[in-house]
């Protein structure tokens, strides 16, 4: 995974943006998730029992299980979810949409350990470009392969490797 994109392909990129920190107070503004009476499965795949994830067609209940939801929760209304479950549903919704660029702003805020580990795993497997802003140093080290550091006075420096590599060279 890289945090830089080839400028020649920027015009055709599909961009998915999620601000998980904004989700903790509710899912307003999150598209289909904003309907509190909608079932979890309907927020992932409205009108269909299946969701297309890359080249794989997956049953929506199985897909939700990947995000730590037991099968019986798939028909529960969004309004019944805890804050952590809402964050997992938001992640499920994000990764159900095809994208080759993700922009994440402090995605670890308010995540429980299971969801944090799930997010790390999803990002490690993500084949696109990731733009990530985080103060969580362990999360950065576990998910990025390049760092663009803001050095001050408008200077940006690119480092190959993770957060620890950047710290060693600064």
% of the chain surpassing 70 pLDDT: 80
pLDDT on residue 110: 82
pLDDT of residue 33: 54
Calpha distance 41→57 (Å, rounded): 15
Q: Write out pLDDT tens, residues 10-29.
A: 333 444 444 443 343 333 33
Q: Indicate the pTM of the whole model.
A: 0.74
Other residues' Cβ atoms within 10 Å of the Cβ of residue 33: 22
What value does the mean pLDDT of the chain take? 80
Higher pLDDT, 47 or 11: 47
Q: What's the rounded mean pLDDT across residues 60-80?
A: 94
pLDDT at position 1: 42
């Amino acid at each position: 995974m890289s945090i830089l994109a080839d400028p020649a392909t920027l015009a055709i990129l599909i961009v998915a943006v999620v601000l998980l920190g904004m989700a903790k107070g509710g899912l307003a503004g999150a598209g289909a998730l904003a309907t509190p009476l909608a079932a979890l499965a309907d927020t992932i795949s409205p009108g269909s029992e299946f969701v297309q994830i890359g080249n794989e067609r997956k049953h929506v209940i199985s897909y939700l299980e990947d995000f730590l939801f037991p099968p019986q929760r798939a028909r529960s209304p969004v309004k019944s979810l805890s804050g952590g479950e809402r964050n997992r549903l938001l992640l499920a919704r994000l990764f159900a949409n095809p994208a080759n660029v993700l922009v994440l702003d402090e995605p670890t805020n308010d995540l429980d350990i299971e969801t944090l580990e799930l997010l790390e795993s999803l990002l490690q497997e993500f084949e696109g470009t990731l733009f990530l802003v985080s103060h969580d140093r362990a999360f950065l080290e576990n998910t990025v392969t390049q760092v663009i550091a803001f050095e001050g006075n408008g200077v940006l420096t690119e480092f190959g490797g993770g957060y620890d590599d950047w710290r060693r060279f600064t």
